[in-house]
Amino acid sequence: MRTRLLDLDLFRALLFAFGAFVFSGASAQEPYPAKPLRIIVPFAPGGSTDIFARLVAERLAASFAQPVVVENRAGASGNIGADAAAKSAPDGYTLLMATTGVMAINNALFKNMAYDAAKDFEPVIFIASITNVLAVPNDLPAKNVAELVALAKKYPGNLTFASSGAGSSTHLSAELFKSMAGIDVMHIPFKGSGQALIDVVAGRVSMIFDNMPSALPHIKGGKLRALGVTGLKRSPALPEVPTISEAGAVGELRGYDSLSWSGFVVPAGTPRDIVQRLNRETAVILLAPELRQKLAEQGADAIGGPPETFVEHLRREREKWGRLVRERNIVVN
């Protein structure tokens, strides 16, 4: 009788363990997404990265039937937000709106980084490519890129350029320009494009290589003169403005190409099926004509494609900007 009781107790224990296993397995297989998602934007609200994240988040929420919250975590050239995303659970519920700086520049530029962009993230999708625009105050005596380069060579070290922060794409765009044109122009970093543009408009700074979305209102409003866009093709937002590469007699600038960009990444270790699901849903969103039009109005091109497209883009960008940082010995204090 005692043996039978022991057997019965053992049977009940095994049955309980099996039930717990089945329950946990069912929970693990809960359809994704089963709760709200968040997109960390590593910059303040209102910039191009934030604008694009919110455009996609609204449509992603409709696709997933779950809230998608945009969380701004600004500071340290994007490093604070990027680090927060890198340390999040790799479960597909936290995405980073990654940019040129946080994924391709900062690891080469800053010492003692808290995250490794190449190792701590899994690329999901290349969202948008954004041209920068070279703009100058109206009273600067340079009507085109060739005249600007000539002015800088005539007065080496006297001209200045503003950026939205050390290590930003607006900073590195100017450094690439200086390197190719062989000129000496002093860097004046600001905490964001807003203050930088105020000083350029006022003529306190000679030029800026700013993201198209923030510079465009000042150019359209006649407060700044656009001399060139930084991509290899003209922007539909400013079709009359040449690319820097095609600008006149400045042969050393042929092939100049410096674009800002953004895309989704998730913490390394996120399951592949979730990465693929996020990619598919976002890719469909980026094909919508109305979204593509909204991005075009901001001077941006919707990209999309599989994760591998973004992986290859990141590889090329890290090589390009890392090489420039080393060759120019760019130091961030």
| DSSP, res 271 | -
Same CATH topology for 37-130+259-328 and 131-253: the answer is yes
What pLDDT does 22 receive?
A: 42
Peptide bond connecting 236 to the previous residue in cis, omega within 30 degrees of 0: no
Look up the CATH number of domain 131-253.
3.40.190.10
CATH 3.40.190.150 fits 37-130+259-328, yes or no: yes
Domain range list for the chain: 37-130+259-328, 131-253
Q: Which helix (H) or strand (E) holds 198?
A: helix 193-201
Please state, in angstroms and as integers, the Cα–Cα distance from residue 20 to each residue in 15, 25, 125, following that order. 9, 8, 37
Contact 163, 332 (CB under 8 A): no
Alpha carbons 256 and 62: distance in angstroms, whole number = 40
What pLDDT does 75 receive?
A: 85
Residue indicated by tokens 């946990």: 24
What pLDDT does 228 receive?
A: 96
Residues 6+ apart with CB under 8 A from 7: none
Residue indicated by tokens 């937002």: 237
What pLDDT does 5 receive?
A: 45
Alpha carbons 11 and 14: distance in angstroms, whole number = 5
Q: What DSSP string runs through 41-85?
A: ESS-TTSHHHHHHHHHHHHHHHHHTS-EEEEE---GGGHHHHHHH
| DSSP, res 252 | G
pLDDT lower than 50: segments of the chain: 1-6, 11, 15, 17-27
